[in-house]
Amino acid sequence: MKTASNHCLWTLVLWLTILPVPAQNVIMDGGEIYYRNGANQPVPYPPEYAGFAVKFYFAGRNPFPDGRFSDIRIACRKHEADSVERSPTVTTSSTSRPGFWTALKRGQSYDFFWVSFLGQRSIFGSWTVPTNAPRWSGLNIALDSQAKAVKFETVSLPIPPAAPKAKTAPSSASAAASVLTTPTDWRSIVGTYYGTDAQGITHYWDFNADGTFLHRLIGVGALGYVRNSERGKFALSGTDLTLITGSSTTSFSQASVTSPGGTVSGGGASSQTKTRHAKAQIKIFNGEHGLVLDGVDLKPRHGW
């Protein structure tokens, strides 16, 4: 015997089963924004769209003290202008403010909703995208203690120039991989990279948007394990990369000559300023922006 409550429960289960859940598929690459199509391939957004790195700030008490944000939906008020509802996932970490990436159409107004587990919506803010919004920028949203938006503010982001518009596989992968281009300016190499040189030493490079760099290298050879690091400032003119090192450290561990089976460890640190030059070029690895630094291929690192 079916009761009214059972009927409601089955209706809810069916509704949750067929409810479409839009994917979060905005990709930022070298200053360009992409979405993933049905074949999971990145496709550039039309030029009338702008990408935003959204960050939440709290104007009062944090309305999400446990760090778990409610689901979000973003809908354009003019459905015929933009019919795709966004469903971004808020990412949180101990080193950065919570936020997400999204792309919105210039000149259109959007409503932002919190969505409960059962699908109930409550609008927490509305915002109109500036008609002159750059292709990619930051969007800070200040929330009050009731999780209502009290301010939307766009901010400039120091990002590299636009990446190649298309990411389709070239007719000859080997020929495409051999093409090297000259960086536009220093911003075009901002990012994190890794690669291994001919001696088997692995290099990790961080080129930061504030003009600083961190270079770590790890090697294992016949004499043992070596790890070096250096940090400082960088500048770029054409392919000439100037590295001004402000501090460096070295550590090693190798087999002991006097004590069979034992090891000898050591190292040191220096704060002496040194300047050297390297040749930097842009290279595309599987559709991603990488570098060649003094002949060493450096591929992009993602989150590590």
Question: Which two tokens mark 83?
Answer: 């019919």
Q: Which residue has the higher pLDDT, 184 or 229?
A: 229
**CB 112 within 8 Å of CB 102:** no
For the ranges 32-36, 114-118, 146-150, 188-192, the lowest mean pLDDT is seen at 32-36
pLDDT at position 62 is: 84
Sign of CA dihedral 210, 103, 289, 298: positive
DSSP 142-157: EE-TTS-EEEEEEE--
Q: What is the CA radius of gyration of the chain?
A: 25
pLDDT at position 106 is: 95
pLDDT of 12 over the 80 cut: no
| Spatial distance between the Cα atoms of 132 and 150, rounded to a whole number of angstroms | 23
pLDDT of 20 over the 50 cut: no
pLDDT at position 200 is: 74
Q: In the structure, what pLDDT confidence band is assigned to residue 114 with cuts at 50, 70 and 90?
A: very high
pLDDT of 207 over the 80 cut: yes
What confidence tens digit (pLDDT) does each residue in 83-99 have?
888 888 888 777 778 88
| Spatial distance between the Cα atoms of 44 and 50, rounded to a whole number of angstroms | 11
Highest mean pLDDT (candidates 38-47, 56-65, 122-131, 208-217)? 122-131
pLDDT at position 125 is: 96
pLDDT of 156 over the 50 cut: yes
CATH code for the domain defined by 23-155: 2.60.40
pLDDT at position 228 is: 81
Closest to 291 in 3D by CA, of 201, 214, 186, 180: 180
CB neighbour burial string for 149-161, b if at least 16 within 10 angstroms, e if fewer? beebebeeeebbe
pLDDT at position 10 is: 38
What confidence tens digit (pLDDT) does each residue in 254-277 have?
544 455 555 555 667 777 888 999
Tell me the average pLDDT of the chain: 74
| Spatial distance between the Cα atoms of 232 and 227, rounded to a whole number of angstroms | 17
Q: Which residue has the higher pLDDT, 149 or 63?
A: 149
Question: Which two tokens mark 255?
Answer: 């087999």
Closest to 264 in 3D by CA, of 276, 275, 279, 252: 252
Q: How far is CA 219 from CA 192, 227, 229, in A?
A: 19, 6, 12
pLDDT at position 159 is: 57
What confidence tens digit (pLDDT) does each residue in 278-301 have?
898 888 766 667 889 888 888 887
Of all residues in the chain, the percent with pLDDT exceeding 90 is 19
Closest to 241 in 3D by CA, of 201, 199, 304, 190: 190
**Stretch 61-73: mean pLDDT:** 82
Closest to 101 in 3D by CA, of 135, 51, 168, 174: 51
Q: Which residue has the higher pLDDT, 174 or 122?
A: 122
**Stretch 27-54: mean pLDDT:** 70
Contacts of 280 (CB under 8 A, 6+ apart): 183, 189, 236, 239, 240, 241, 291, 292, 293
For the ranges 3-12, 34-43, 226-235, the lowest mean pLDDT is seen at 3-12
